[in-house]
Copies of this chain bind each other. A is one copy, B any other.
Amino acid sequence: MPTDKNIDLTIRGSHASAPPKAAKKILDVAYDLFYRRGIRAIGVDEIVKRAGVTKPSLYRSFPSKDELAASYLRQYDREYWERFDEAVAAHPGDPRAQIKAFLTRIGKRTQVADYRGCGMTNAAVEYPDHSHPARVVSEANKQELRRRLRAMAVAMGAQDPDTLGDGLLLLIEGAYISGQLFGLGGPAQSVARNADLLIEASLKK
């Protein structure tokens, strides 16, 4: 049996004998570059150079640049719901506090120089074609976000849960975008406050 010192974190197959050493470095570097500077702006040459590998190594682990971009977004997706679930777990049974915690965190994250917003949102803007592998991941992520927000609006006892859930989604997307548009001191810092106002106005009297 192989040493198995490195556990494969992407549950591909149950093959324990697939330790793609280069693949992880490539994905890590691609994640950083794609997120910070955009997918279209980054060429595969720069990725392999920064990762210290060569191009064939990239194409042995990923069938194309588009699929590498999709892998980046799948990784982003996992971390996204981790953060979301943390906010939920911090306030059991209190959806309003859960939302507030999640949005407060988003508002804080937007208040740094060179904030780049949501990788999912950015990818969808870069690829209008609905069949693009990256966009498929992005749209699925947003559908799930919408589903959760609407469910939480129900749990909060909103008069019109779908409208409130969608309103919260609009505020969140607005925070991602205005965060990268305005930088420090931008409108995104008020996302939690505005969301709370909107929630208050949407509850059954």
Point out residues on A near B: beta carbons under 8 Å. Answer: 36-38, 40-41, 114, 116-117, 121-122, 124-128, 138-139, 142-143, 146, 162-167, 169-178, 180-182, 186-191, 193-194, 197-198, 200-202
Contacts and interface: CB of A to CB of B under 8 A. Distances in A.
A157 to B, nearest CB: 15
> What's the number of copies of this chain in the assembled complex?
2
Nearest to A194: B167
Contacts of A163: 190, 193-194
9 closest cross-chain pairs (CB), A and B: A170-B174, A166-B187, A167-B194, A201-B201, A174-B174, A173-B174, A125-B125, A173-B177, A40-B40
Contacts of A176: 177
A150 B183 CA distance: 18
A109 B157 CA distance: 30
Given A173-B173, A194-B170, A181 B128 contact: no
A interface secondary structure, majority:
helix
A202 B191 contact: no
Contact of A38 (B128, B182, B191, B202): B128
Contacts of A162: 190
Contacts of A122: 125
B180 A169 contact: no
Nearest to A177: B173
A128 B114 contact: yes
A169 B173 contact: no
B167 A197 contact: yes
A180 B128 CA distance: 8
Contacts of A174: 169-174, 177
B170 A187 contact: yes
Contacts of A36: 128
A197 B40 CA distance: 39
